[in-house]
Amino acid sequence: MSLQSVKEHLQKFNRDQDILEFEQSSATVEQAAIALNVIPARIAKTLSFKDKDGNAFLVVAAGDAKIDNKKFKSTFGVKAKMLSAEEVEHFTGHVIGGVCPFGLAHDLDVYLDVSLKRFTTVFPACGSINSAIELTCDELFEYSNAKEWVDVGKDWNETLTDISEFAATNEL
């Protein structure tokens, strides 16, 4: 049902036919990067958190970004506390590995991390553990109804932007 809710959501933008489905799993950043033949950083991973009132919200970040607790607390006024797998599925309607900011079960606030902005296009999941879609950052912002761009990531490489640079420094 989750992939279906994403298709219905993206249909509003005439992009449902652009969802990519894979034979293999794309549930992790690394698996998605292999399925798409892109560097892991271009995978737009969706992370689920709780605010101070216990409400869920989402942060979409580049695949190579980690959450910086100090920046997160400064931005959201609360320590970063991720949802459990059961909570993620309840609030988003998506299973871990397919979580995305589209076709959500509940109306959640969505924030995009600036780590994504170094790419022309990125690849968020589409509600299942074997799907994704290629979107520009502007499209991701619009289709996810994001509230704003935030800077809560760390350890991401500002200069690593394509597969040839990645291949030169990693075993593929």
| Chain segment 16-58, per-residue pLDDT in tens | 999 999 999 999 999 999 999 999 999 999 999 999 898 999 9
Is the domain spanning 2-157 CATH 3.90.550.10? The answer is no
pLDDT higher than threshold 80 for residue 4: yes
The pLDDT assigned to 63 comes to: 97
Rounded mean pLDDT of the chain?
A: 92
The pLDDT assigned to 172 comes to: 45
The pLDDT assigned to 168 comes to: 46
| Chain segment 74-129, per-residue pLDDT in tens | 999 999 999 999 999 999 999 999 999 999 999 999 999 999 999 999 999 999 99
Full-model pTM: 0.91
The pLDDT assigned to 162 comes to: 56
Q: Give the residue carrying structure tokens 């992939």.
A: 3
